[in-house]
Chain A
């Protein structure tokens, strides 16, 4: 049967069996909590607490630093220890608010909520931005901005990105199974912002249980539909997902809204539900802890700011001591220097591998086999782009569409010469973007 898809892509070993049947477990942290001021794309949040302040769970501790920004909330009750520079999960040094956990989890009082019918669109959008919701699939783009296109009446589809195409990660899978109502409710909220839109849940065909569960949940929702996608990486990449579901294609200079689409991932939609329907800010998320070096892989509901070490401990710790630890999926995630970093709004998983497949193999010369061309979801010629990038030939790189790359990593994955194609292309893209800004 031909499920919806795009051209190109790869089928890496998905590793999801390690954790897919582990129900979401709540994890309460013991140590201090660290809240980076920048857990999103855009201006960092501005702290509104000072050392010694007592804060409650759900209390705002930093406010949005601009329109493209997001506030930060404390996920525990306790005393503010201060503002410190600390290592973030991506290896950068970031400003963090440190809160000493008093173990009481005393919650602040939230404003009373209204039903969806009573709220205006503006009120809904404000609740979403106030709650600190950002794209929780990994990009961290403030959701309010995404939900405020110039012409909201021209949005035809609100797409729930239920693809979860990255290997190993099962957080969205568990959310779909265990929080189906909240997910559908989040979709209902977003649909109320776009009068002419249909809601589509795009799910890969390897998640049969989720497809059934969601189909059942939306059968009385005339504006919602579940669509089955082919299991393939990167089915959940925004442009590829939009194309698979709507046959509309956007390039790097366009936004999903230009194709009449708004895309949000599972965790984000659930966050929207809590923000609007329960008035609760974003203080937690589901994180998968997996990989062959994790004692008992699982899915955990984690309070934001929790140290990654506690998360690994909750999963039984390491088996032998991993060679590599990755925050996010193995295709696009970051290798972590240390576990001593906080879980943020965009941490979808932490993976520990006993072998590092990258350092194990040496790079050799490109033999022009064309595998990268066959699988490139953006239909580029990655081996050539990487060559231009390595030569610092920005002009040819841009002329041959290097800026269209979404850095999904498929080219590096398939390369038989084990060349770090995505790394070369990604570095050149950063330089080209910076040079463009200078002009």
Chain B
């Protein structure tokens, strides 16, 4: 008998989902915000910054892996996701070379030096944003809309000025390329929720915690207009749905994800209400990234038969 059957440990069937098609879903989900950003900041040529930043991220990964004789992993789309997310977190007027530098930092320093995909302990795009914010504070907080320079709606809000929440919802305001349109972000987020790529645990607890925090400490009590403006302003929505939900840098345990969402909500509230700057989402998320090992340790699920079955 001439038989050559494959031998492997069970199970012998596999689900269709792969890491690369999950990343591809995330890329697709970012499209509404990306397209809106390109349109919204067409006078600032936002598309160019998006292309340069994303391409640099992919190229950095390719060059690093080539030089280190590691398998090339750009096909899993994770570098593209990082690059695009970073671009969406940058002001449209940022010099291109700064965007490229941020991407290289995200991929090489934050991701690859710690072992590549799945090994980084901080969200690469956010870490790069914070790196750029510290290095080029002026350029990173320079916002233009329709050729007019000025503060973002969130900064107006912090200064106690009136803001137009409808504009903030639609996105016709100053801000980073991808953060201004809550509507576009939510279309992408709904897509990921429906596909089961993300669930409500992290973004839900994040948003609820933040709202409770600003009701108590925001100085406006239960003011729907103020709460809406806080939620639609700055990077909160982009952060909650696309950055806090990053698999690699969030807890794997279900209860840990809830705790993590609460952590980010508290920190965002703290930074926005009591901090010097109007914004605080990026720092809130990367600080919470650092707490993940601790959170996972105290939220290890109880197994079946020992209380976990319920």
Whether the pair B7, A337 counts as a contact (CB closer than 8 A) is yes
CB contacts (< 8 Å) of A418 on chain B: these are: 14, 18
A283 interface hit (Cβ, 8 Å): no
CB contacts (< 8 Å) of A410 on chain B: these are: 11
Whether the pair A249, B309 counts as a contact (CB closer than 8 A) is yes
Interfacial residues of chain B within 119-165, with CB under 8 A of chain A in the complex = 119
B69 interface hit (Cβ, 8 Å): no
6 A-B pairs in the complex with CB atoms less than 8 angstroms apart? A249-B305, A324-B8, A358-B14, A367-B118, A374-B254, A412-B10
Whether the pair A422, B252 counts as a contact (CB closer than 8 A) is no
Whether the pair B10, A414 counts as a contact (CB closer than 8 A) is no
**Which residue from A249, A331, A335, A368 sits with its C-beta under 8 Å from B5?**
A335
Interface size on B, residues (CB 8 A): 42
Q: Which of B1, B7, B303 has most chain A Cβ within 10 Å?
A: B303
Q: Tell me how far the C-beta of B101 lies from the nearest C-beta in chain A, rounded to whole angstroms.
A: 26
A213 interface hit (Cβ, 8 Å): no
Whether the pair B22, A359 counts as a contact (CB closer than 8 A) is no
Whether the pair A365, B13 counts as a contact (CB closer than 8 A) is no
B308 interface hit (Cβ, 8 Å): yes
* Chain A residue with Cβ nearest B115: A365
A66 interface hit (Cβ, 8 Å): no
Whether the pair B305, A368 counts as a contact (CB closer than 8 A) is no
Whether the pair A335, B7 counts as a contact (CB closer than 8 A) is yes
**Which residue from B3, B250, B252, B310 sits with its C-beta under 8 Å from A383?**
B252
* Given A338-B3, A338-B5, A378 contacting B10 (CB threshold 8 A): no
Q: How many A-B residue pairs have CB under 8 A?
A: 179
CB contacts (< 8 Å) of A366 on chain B: these are: 118
CB contacts (< 8 Å) of B167 on chain A: these are: none
CB contacts (< 8 Å) of B252 on chain A: these are: 368, 370, 373, 381, 383-384
**Which residue from B14, B254, B306 sits with its C-beta under 8 Å from A357?**
B14
Whether the pair B304, A378 counts as a contact (CB closer than 8 A) is yes
Could you tell me which A residues sit within 8 Å of B by CB distance?
6-7, 10, 12-13, 91, 167, 239-240, 243, 249-252, 254, 309, 322-326, 330-340, 351, 353, 356-359, 361, 364-371, 373-374, 377-381, 383-384, 400-401, 404, 409-410, 412-418, 420, 422-423, 426
CB contacts (< 8 Å) of A414 on chain B: these are: 15, 17
Whether the pair B11, A339 counts as a contact (CB closer than 8 A) is no
Whether the pair B6, A370 counts as a contact (CB closer than 8 A) is no
CB contacts (< 8 Å) of B116 on chain A: these are: 365
Whether the pair A409, B305 counts as a contact (CB closer than 8 A) is no
Could you tell me which B residues sit within 8 Å of A by CB distance?
1, 3, 5-15, 17-19, 21-22, 73, 76, 78, 116-119, 247-248, 250, 252-254, 257, 300-306, 308-310
CB contacts (< 8 Å) of A13 on chain B: these are: 13
Q: Tell me how far the C-beta of A409 lies from the nearest C-beta in chain B, rounded to whole angstroms.
A: 4
Whether the pair A330, B119 counts as a contact (CB closer than 8 A) is no
Q: Tell me how far the C-beta of B249 lies from the nearest C-beta in chain A, rounded to whole angstroms.
A: 8
Complex: how many Å from CA A254 to CA B247? 35
* Given A249-B309, A324-B5, A379-B304, A364 contacting B254 (CB threshold 8 A): no
Whether the pair A7, B14 counts as a contact (CB closer than 8 A) is no
CB contacts (< 8 Å) of A309 on chain B: these are: 1
Whether the pair B19, A417 counts as a contact (CB closer than 8 A) is yes
Whether the pair A331, B10 counts as a contact (CB closer than 8 A) is yes
* Given A364-B76, A373-B253, A404 contacting B303 (CB threshold 8 A): yes
* Given A365-B118, A413-B15, A416-B22, A356 contacting B6 (CB threshold 8 A): yes
CB contacts (< 8 Å) of B301 on chain A: these are: 373, 379-381
CB contacts (< 8 Å) of B9 on chain A: these are: 335, 420, 422-423, 426
CB contacts (< 8 Å) of B76 on chain A: these are: 364
CB contacts (< 8 Å) of B13 on chain A: these are: 12-13, 167, 330-331, 357, 413
**Which residue from B5, B19, B250, B254 sits with its C-beta under 8 Å from A337?**
B5
**Which residue from B73, B118, B306, B309 sits with its C-beta under 8 Å from A6?**
B309
Q: Tell me how far the C-beta of B200 lies from the nearest C-beta in chain A, rounded to whole angstroms.
A: 13
**Which residue from A91, A335, A364, A377 sits with its C-beta under 8 Å from B6?**
A335
CB contacts (< 8 Å) of B303 on chain A: these are: 251, 378-380, 401, 404
Complex: how many Å from CA A115 to CA B123? 72
Whether the pair A243, B309 counts as a contact (CB closer than 8 A) is yes
Whether the pair B15, A335 counts as a contact (CB closer than 8 A) is no
Q: Tell me how far the C-beta of B9 lies from the nearest C-beta in chain A, rounded to whole angstroms.
A: 4
* Chain A residue with Cβ nearest B292: A368
Complex: how many Å from CA A253 to CA B299? 23
Complex: how many Å from CA A359 to CA B253? 30
Whether the pair A404, B304 counts as a contact (CB closer than 8 A) is yes
Q: Tell me how far the C-beta of B296 lies from the nearest C-beta in chain A, rounded to whole angstroms.
A: 8
* Chain B residue with Cβ nearest A369: B247
CB contacts (< 8 Å) of A426 on chain B: these are: 9
CB contacts (< 8 Å) of B117 on chain A: these are: 364-365, 367
CB contacts (< 8 Å) of A364 on chain B: these are: 19, 73, 76, 117
CB contacts (< 8 Å) of A373 on chain B: these are: 252-254, 301
Complex: how many Å from CA A34 to CA B45? 77
* Chain A residue with Cβ nearest B248: A368
* Chain A residue with Cβ nearest B309: A249
Complex: how many Å from CA A380 to CA B18? 21
CB contacts (< 8 Å) of B6 on chain A: these are: 323-324, 335, 356, 358-359
Whether the pair A413, B11 counts as a contact (CB closer than 8 A) is yes
